[in-house]
Amino acid sequence: MGEFVGGFSAFFGIQSSLVVEFMMGVIFALEEAQKASYSFLWLECDCSLVYSTFYARTQVPWIIRNRWNKYLAYCTGIAFKVSHIFREGNHCADKLVNLCFLHRQNFVWYRSLLPSILLDFFHNTYKLLMFRLA
């Protein structure tokens, strides 16, 4: 079953949602994975446009394209998988995003599971359904 290895949040100020998705969901995750020398990595993303860029590489925003190319090269050298996840399966990530928005910290790496995401992590690990009510 799943094991919590780490999590992070970062505040970017005012940016487009696509840039934030790439920076948070992909580049920072790959950066931390490379620092930790992971040779197996599975990236789940709830943004279908980010997911599709691994196959159609021309859609990356120009402002982050150099960093993107660097980490894309890293992905080709390891056992790497990317998959799309529906927003309902991404509660832990949503709570980490809310933390960075509240505290306005540039980058925070969490080495242990935060009490505020413990229940969500349990649900994700055991594939229990959680719904968003609007």
Q: pLDDT of 80-93, one tens digit each?
A: 988 777 666 666 76
For residues 104-121, average pLDDT: 79
Counted domains in the chain = 1
Residue 80, classed as helix, strand or coil, is: strand
Q: In this structure, is residue 134 part of a structural domain?
A: no
Q: Hunting for tokens 């995401």 — which residue is that?
A: 117
pLDDT value at residue 10: 76
Q: In this structure, is residue 104 part of a structural domain?
A: yes
| CATH code of the domain covering residue 114 | 3.30.420
Residue type, 124: N
Q: In this structure, is residue 110 part of a structural domain?
A: yes
Q: In this structure, is residue 18 part of a structural domain?
A: yes
CA dihedral for 105, 111, 112, 113, sign (positive or negative): positive
Q: In this structure, is residue 2 part of a structural domain?
A: no
Q: In this structure, is residue 62 part of a structural domain?
A: yes
Q: In this structure, is residue 130 part of a structural domain?
A: no
At 1-57, the pLDDT tens digits run 557 777 777 777 766 766 777 766 788 888 888 998 989 888 777 777 777 887 776
Task: Determine the structural domain holding residue 92 and report its residue range.
Answer: 7-125
Q: How confident is the model at residue 78 (pLDDT cuts 50, 70, 90)?
A: very high
Q: In this structure, is residue 35 part of a structural domain?
A: yes
